[in-house]
Amino acid sequence: MGNPDALSNQDNGRRFGLTGPISLAGPAESDVIKTRELENYLQDAGLYESQEEAVRRQEVLGSLDQTVKAWVKTVSKAKGFNEQLVDEANALIVTFGSYRLGVHGPGADIDTLCVGPKYATRQEDFFGELHRMLSEMPQVTELNPVPDAHVPVMTFKFSGVAIDLLYAQLALLVIPEDLDILQDSVLQGVDEQTVRSLNGFRVTDRILRLIPSIQNFCTTLRCMRLWAKRRCVYSNVAGFLGGINWALLVARICQLYPNALPNMLVSRFFKIYTQWHWPNPVMLCAIEAGSLGLQVWDPRRNKMDRLHLMPIITPAYPSMNSSYSVSPSTKCIMLDEFQRGNDICKAMEANKADWDTLFESSAFFEAYKNYLQIDITAENDDDFRAWKGWVKSRIRQLMLKIERHTSGKLLCHPQPGDFSDKSRGFHSSFFMGLQRRQGVCADDGQRYFDIRGTIEEFKQADVNRYTLWKPGMEICVSHVNRRSIPNFVFPGGVQPLRPSKVTWERRQGSGPTVSGASEPHKLCEAKTDLDGSDGRPKRKQVDSNVEIDSSHAMSLRPCGEEFREGSPSMSSSVNSCSIKCDSMDANNINSGKTGIPRDIPYQNDQTESLSRCNPPIDSLPAAANISNSKEAEKLALEEKITATKEGASVGTPINSSNGAAGPSNDSYNGGVEELVDEFVAPSSNGTSFPPAAQRRPIIRFSFSTFVKTSG
């Protein structure tokens, strides 16, 4: 079981992090019991791999290491090097991420890094010769190269073990077997892709050196990863937080509570990040300026860094923001989930909730009235795997475009996973929940948000850019309401007639509840109609808020029926979308414990409703009958966060080898909610796309006044 001294880095009162700890208090007997219950829960959830699987992973890594060593010798021979250099040719395989941290589970992929010499290039040799060698090995399956990714990667399975393989091309003629990758000198003379590839290993190792107890950290991180996956907020690609982000957040909590057990750290996690003043950065140590001239995260000097919404800074040089993909919508959703977690942890302290309550799965398909469904198909397994990976990587751009084109008034919740219709070969569907952002009223007379052009731009400027497109790779974007969600997304292929289970929010009844994403449809009721242009009468379905123009009923067909064949360019289909917003009673919105907090600055007429995502620290209620130690901890917490806010708004601490760093008068207050143009891909010809032809059906979301849903 986790304990404060197990696998500890503590020595002689060493301080971890930029500030001192909030509390040095150790666990009470009840904390020991609750931590044991938590560890049993994680064990029962199947988060730990068997010894047999652990051994197989080690064998696979050994075989992969031998493969890359043979590869680099082949490359050296092909380039005409003499026999001595061929004999000395070497490459290394190292791991990072969840596997190196020790928090991976059964079936999880292994993040690996291949370190090669300067003459082994990324495009020609890594994605060329090594890819060829792997494709000819019978134990390698599902090989998929992604050379154009932000961090180029090859994904595959080696003897059934999933591998994500990156490549770092160092400026060395020979790679020594005992190379210390943590030394900044390995970054000398390398390209940006190599810097980003090396960053994973360097950050992972730095995290392990900056926390007081590795065992308590690992248990807490396992817990938070499971929680984030069940609450549908675990995906860097979708605009939420990924593995490294959650690791950095947990590590900071471990620094602030160095003697706490995992059950205490989970509670403090939600307490801290519910009150955190974003966009103040989360940092495990001061940012080092370094001596190589590489750009580090510094909003005082880098304009783009000021636009990051939830900066979580990596602790290894060059420090970067690991959460750059967070958008206004995903930020609000995560903050709502943090608040929910904090409320449940308070209830657990009063024995009114348990671990099952905290880990309840998000009822995503019960949470919204309206969804976008993105269907993809291909003709064979290899094409489908490549096409699916490409489309998944672009869905975040659709969310950003919708946010930007609606001035942040429409909240988008992408489901991180995908769903397959087993009756259709090589098919997957992605979903995105849609709702008007809380606090947005139609006071300006704008009742519709037409997103037809937005979806068309997404198709043309993002999806159709795929350079490896092949015939049969199809995409369809369509609107579905909650009652029309396809059955294949539900367990057993059957859509429940009523909510699948009594959630934490429903159990709260009419009392103060968690605000936001758990049941966002309560914030505004929706009404959907497909409006034709020919004025034909509409038929209204019984017990449904969906009105269908009979002349356009065909638009509700499965997307596969709308695919067109024989097109010389990529074929794609979309149901044109237009959002209709009715007035809403703002006094009824979130009528529980929290209202719209203090104003924060915006740019480009961003709506003030976004301020609800930055709760002030004084808006959080204190627990009743709090002990003196709890009160002291709260005061310390307020001082820490306030100090962070004041310090970060002036200048982020940066260590410089030449002593040149110091406070800057350049402030980056305000404007952080603005979507930046660089995140939105322009059209190929630089012009905006015209609206879809009027003959297409228009999908409208009609948001009526808030109606409180009974239990």
Pairing between β-strand 448-450 and β-strand 577-581 as defined by DSSP bridges:
antiparallel
What value does the mean pLDDT take over residues 222-244? 95
According to DSSP, residue 586 is labeled G
Sign of CA dihedral 298, 303, 305, 308: positive
pLDDT band at 511 (very low <50, low <70, confident <90, very high): very low
Asked if residues 476 and 574 have their Cβ atoms less than 8 Å apart, the reply is yes
Using 50, 70 and 90 to split pLDDT, how confident is the model at 630?
Answer: low
**pTM summary value:** 0.74
Alpha-carbon dihedral 352, 355, 356, 358, rounded to 10 degrees: 80
Sketch out the chain's domains with CATH numbers.
51-206 (3.30.460.10), 212-359 (1.10.1410.10), 364-491 (3.30.70.590)
Does the pLDDT at position 559 exceed 90? no
Nearest to 572, CA basis, from 698, 675, 458, 670: 458
Interatomic CA distance for residues 431 and 516, integer angstroms: 19
- Looking at residues 295-300, what average pLDDT do you find? 93
Q: What is the pLDDT of residues 147-179, one digit of tens each?
A: 888 899 999 999 999 999 999 999 999 999 999
The residue among 258, 269, 256 whose CA lies nearest residue 221 is: 269
Q: In the sheet that 92-96 helps form, which strands lie side by side, from edge to edge?
A: 92-96, 110-116, 161-169, 153-158, 140-146
Peptide bond preceding 537 in cis form (omega within 30 of 0): no
Burial class (CB in 10 A: 0-12, 13-18, 19+), 657: exposed
In the chain, the amino acid numbered 438 is Q
User: How confident is the model at residue 322, as a pLDDT?
Assistant: 94
How much is the average pLDDT of 77-94?
A: 94
Residue 174's Cα: distance from chain center in Å?
A: 37
The answer on pLDDT for 524 being more than 50 is no
CA distance 135 to 138: 8
Structure confidence at residue 493 (pLDDT)? 82
> Could you tell me if 529 and 548 are in contact, meaning their C-beta atoms sit under 8 angstroms apart?
yes
